[in-house]
């Protein structure tokens, strides 16, 4: 097993959750906008905020992978 294997596992596992969360947030947000177009701006704002928080989890996985690589 090479030294890069744990790093690949950290990134792989650490990005599955955020990827699923972003897909779910987007689909439900667009579904909500389709049902109530008048509330599109409020829904879009909250959807983008939720996506940003989910993406932050993937960035944490990247930081952990880099720590494993260089320490």
**Structural domains present in the chain:** 5-70 (1.20.20.10)
Residue 11 to residue 25: CA distance in whole angstroms? 21
Structure tokens at 13: 């596992």
pLDDT per residue as tens, the chain (71 positions): 566 778 888 888 889 999 999 999 999 999 999 999 999 999 999 999 999 999 999 999 889 888 888 88
Q: What confidence score (pLDDT) does residue 14 get?
A: 87
Q: What confidence score (pLDDT) does residue 2 get?
A: 61
| Cα 11-27-17 angle, rounded to 5 deg | 20
pTM: 0.80
Q: What confidence score (pLDDT) does residue 12 get?
A: 87
Sign of CA dihedral 38, 41, 45, 48: positive
């Amino acid at each position: 097993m090479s030294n890069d294997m744990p790093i690949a596992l950290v990134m792989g596992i650490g990005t599955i959750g955020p990827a699923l969360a972003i897909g779910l947030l987007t689909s439900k947000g667009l579904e909500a906008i389709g049902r109530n177009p008048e509330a599109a701006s409020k829904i879009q704002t909250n959807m983008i905020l939720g996506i940003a928080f989910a993406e932050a989890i993937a960035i944490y996985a990247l930081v952990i992978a880099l720590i494993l690589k260089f320490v």
